[in-house]
Structure 1
């Protein structure tokens, strides 16, 4: 089968063996797959949890049709339209674990579906499980213009947040955050961004801050979160380290939680997918949760897709199609 693999020369289209599904896996004929920022690191040979390494098939989420099921799989059948997170997605076939699969709503295209699995499970886990969100609370998504960030805005709004704030350093992207549920869009590079958040929350700060940026924003995040609130760190786009005012952290009694899928077992990820499906399935079916498609490339055009992501020119998801 054809697949995009990592190499010293960038993404390369090669013929590799078709995966053989294990007892708890499902073989999917991939119709579309979408890029995530982690793919840029994997392109250089980095591992992402249990997948990756130089010469391995790239891609972390996909949509397609089931063509074979493992002997222990009960929930899925040949012909099912599915979407899933898992390695080797940039290929003609992939074999995700059955517990990581979502059904594709009948009115959703494979291109649209391929953009959703990682964002759905990441944001439900961050907002609900680790963020302990309750209806009526104020939520801030730090770095909201990414695909996962846009999903975070929608999930917070769907779960009846009292106030949803999104940040972006791009004026063009900030102007679009309202489309995805933001009540207020803030430039986190503005000297008064914390003051804007405090004003919007009556001086208290947000109840929950989901952080994709980190780096130099740590102390500002602490100031923008209410006393006794929570910060959940999902990404570190602005840097893996930064200055921390530990006295500020202590005085505001903020719970700081770090999350990742890379150190979770298959069983733990399956539980996350199950919770996300149960809570967000109705919204997915009704079309209340969607992500914009920035651009679609054919599988053989993967190098252009990677270049676009590396230049950070996109708004929404970059998709590869096998059509």
Structure 2
């Protein structure tokens, strides 16, 4: 059956980055609806998550991987309206969420079938759209690469961000002995503690290294999840316990500053970095299966779900990015399609 017979129009509204810059460089345009390849599905987008990498792409600092759409957006939820001829896992009409290497800020999005998931029971489409990029990033970095285990302590920078709120909830669900976050306001501190943090440090008023040492009786934390970099790298080494792991998943403040590596040697630290976007479909599929086995039970019983802060219409992607840039959000910002 052809693409057009599924009620799919020839063109769609999408949001493009016209040049590197602030939120004003995001412009709504009309583009042809993409056709799914043999191993892809076409999703009528109901909602799309907004993430840090989208901001870096808008600023001209993070190009899409080769072959990926230049339309921003790494996670979507919606209804499958067309499938490639080799697709076996999904059918037209299925409600899904998907991890995509680009193209999410659009009324229609193509996704590889192995990067597509049925919407977990108990989640709305908006919540489902806020999950793939964020939860997979946390699962990959905190649990798989950072080897976080029950009974360990964790420091989560950007505790009010999408990554930070997801990491807090998952660390709590998987038995952290102590969860410490950094936040930038009293409102964020209250929200972070409500999500499961034991201590939320306002980094503008307190030295987080000193606060971590006080909270851990001078031992430090077993794992640090950092989206900041810059001068935080050396301070993370100071806040880590012996045999601690620092997981670098962002570089908001840029290159490490005046970094003395001796503490890394003396404490036998591991400093690990990775991105999700550039991984192969096979790697992402394995990660998705592990997430479904491990995290879906917590979602089904309501212990874990994406924290949604605000939604914006697709046509107001600028407003969503202005909020991202402000740092005032707590949890996820999501675009919705009418």
Is 2:174 the counterpart of 1:163? no
1:4 aligns with 2:20: no
2:222 equivalent to 1:211: no
Aligned 8 A contact 2:141 2:249 in 1 = yes
Matched, 1:23 2:70: no
Which of 64, 76, 84 is equivalent to 1:48?
64
- DSSP-derived class of the 1:62 partner: strand
Moved more, 255-264 or 101-110: 101-110
1:247 maps to 262
Distance across 2 between alignment mates of 1:219 and 1:42 = 27
Q: For the aligned residues, what is the CA RMSD?
A: 1.9
Q: How many Å separate the matches in 1 of 2:206 and 2:183?
A: 14
Alignment of 1:83-98 (within 5 A): 83-86=97-100, 87-98=102-113
User: Does 2:96 align with 1:82?
Assistant: yes
Q: Structure 1, unaligned stretches of length 5 or more? A: none
Deviations 1:208-244 (A, max 9, x none): 1111111111222111111111111111122233221
Are 1:24 and 1:73, in contact at CA under 8 Å, matched by a contact in 2? yes
Deviations 1:64-99 (Å, cap 9, x if unpaired)?
A: 011122222222222221111211111111111111
Identify which of 130, 145, 150 aligns with 1:115: 130
Which ranges in structure 2 are unaligned for 5 or more consecutive residues?
1-11
1:59–1:248: structure 2 CA closer, same or farther, 3 Å change rule? Answer: same
Counterpart of 1:236 in structure 2 is 251
Aligned length: 321
Greater CA deviation, 259-268 or 75-84? 259-268
Whole-Å separation in 1 of the counterparts to 2:49 and 2:279: 22
What is the alpha-carbon distance in structure 2 between the residues aligned to residue 232 and residue 204 of structure 1? Answer: 18
SS class of match (2:143): helix
Q: Secondary structure at the match of 1:215?
A: coil
Answer whether contact 1:10 1:44 (CA < 8 A) is retained. no
- Contact 2:158 / 2:181 at 8 angstroms: preserved in 1? yes
1:78-227 equivalences in 2 (<5 Å): 78-86=92-100, 87-190=102-205, 192-227=207-242
TM-score (norm 2): 0.89
Offset of 1:319 from its aligned partner?
1.5
Moved more, 207-216 or 170-179: 170-179
1:25-59 CA-to-partner distances (Å, cap 9, x unmatched) read 11111011121122123234541334678xx3221
Cross-structure match for 2:320: 305
- Residues 173 and 5 (structure 1), Cα distance of their counterparts in 2 relative to 1, 3 Å cut: same
Cα distance in 2 between the residues matched to 1:16 and 1:82: 23
Deviation at 1:191, TM superposition (A): 5.2
